[in-house]
Amino acid sequence: MSFEFGMRPRGPQGSVTAAAEPDEYDVDEEEADQPVEVADHADLREALTTTNVMEVLDQLDRELIALVPVKTRIREIAALLLIDRLRAEVGLASERPSLHMSFTGNPGTGKTTVALKMAAVLHRLGYIEEPRVVSCTRDDLVGQYVGHTAPKTKEVLRRAYGGVLFIDEAYYLYKPENERDYGGEAIEILLQVMEAERDKLVVIFAGYKDRMDDFFRSNPGLSSRVAHHIDFPDYDVDELMAIAHLMLDHQNYVFGPGAEESFREYLERRVKRPRFAHGRSVRNSIDRARLRQANRLFAEGHNELSREELMTITPDDILQSSVFAEDREPEDETPALGAH
């Protein structure tokens, strides 16, 4: 199977096409016999300055709360690639390592954000052409009828070529219970590209850990091509509060007196409810608090609003959430004396 979306040109039998040699090419014999000079040392400081990879890693530390195991693993991968680059400079064996990855964890734990930072690291170290992530799901790759899947999958690969392909909820590609499902065809194409073009494209599979484990067990060919399996732990309430403060600060909002306690109580209740998505849920809850704040200020009808009023989230902006609905007293529906 050939993949015609900008990848290496291939000959009739799939071999890499070599450049044609000119008919006459004179080489000085003495020049040809001279060994290639190889440096006897590599400058790590210069490499760090040239690639500026530490800037991305430091951003990762600043912009993502907690996730210490994830940050540690990303730094380890960056160190490996940087040292591999220096080994090449001094003539040591330097084979490109497999960079395909698996990110597992619950929604909102930072997988997409880390994928973006990983793309920046790989680009700065020269392992991909652009610091670009193309995100997709099963619907982008798998067709609904014969002959539909290959063009869809190749188009997504064409867009991701030179960068990172991030496949979210990747386990939906494999549906063994449906014999007429075309997900297997997409997987076969991915397998070939991940092996044949691993120096041109990095693929990251993402999803819930238990389902991803089943997915890789059912597709050992994929599992053998994924070198880095990174698990994203859940956030606890303290970490979620830190995320909230980071988001508020970024948008120039602050918790007013009592609002921080109300928001903590909100989180303690929200984490127990279905479809909780960690950082994503925190962002959504802050957006709704901002909405209530705006409505409150509008309803108060003041002609002038101070900077502090425009910045402050009050407890009531949070307590009006449906999460607290069971605590609110129902309105008294008993008619007042003499009312009709």
Instruction: Specify the DSSP element, H or E, that contains 164.
Output: strand 164-168
Instruction: Specify the DSSP element, H or E, that contains 157.
Output: helix 149-160
Q: Is the Cβ–Cβ distance between 73 and 230 less than 8 Å?
A: yes
**Cα(117)–Cα(176) distance, integer angstroms:** 34
For residue 324, give the amino acid letter: F
Question: What global pTM score does this model have?
Answer: 0.82
The confidence score (pLDDT) of residue 165 equals 98
Closest CA to 80 of 88, 90, 68: 88
The confidence score (pLDDT) of residue 180 equals 82
β-bridge partners, 104? 207, 231
Tokens 């529906």, located at residue: 333
- C-alpha pair distances (Å), 327 with each of 86, 319, 321, 323: 62, 10, 11, 9
In three-state secondary structure terms, 32 is helix
Chunked into runs of 10 residues, the chain (340 residues) has average pLDDT values of 39 36 44 62 93 95 94 96 92 87 97 97 95 97 93 97 97 87 94 92 97 94 93 98 97 98 98 96 98 96 94 98 78 41
**Cα(95)–Cα(97) distance, integer angstroms:** 6
Q: Is the Cβ–Cβ distance between 259 and 241 less than 8 Å?
A: no
β-bridge partners, 68? none
Query: Is beta strand 202-207 parallel, antiparallel or unpaired with respect to 228-232?
Result: unpaired
Q: Is the Cβ–Cβ distance between 88 and 214 less than 8 Å?
A: no
The confidence score (pLDDT) of residue 138 equals 97
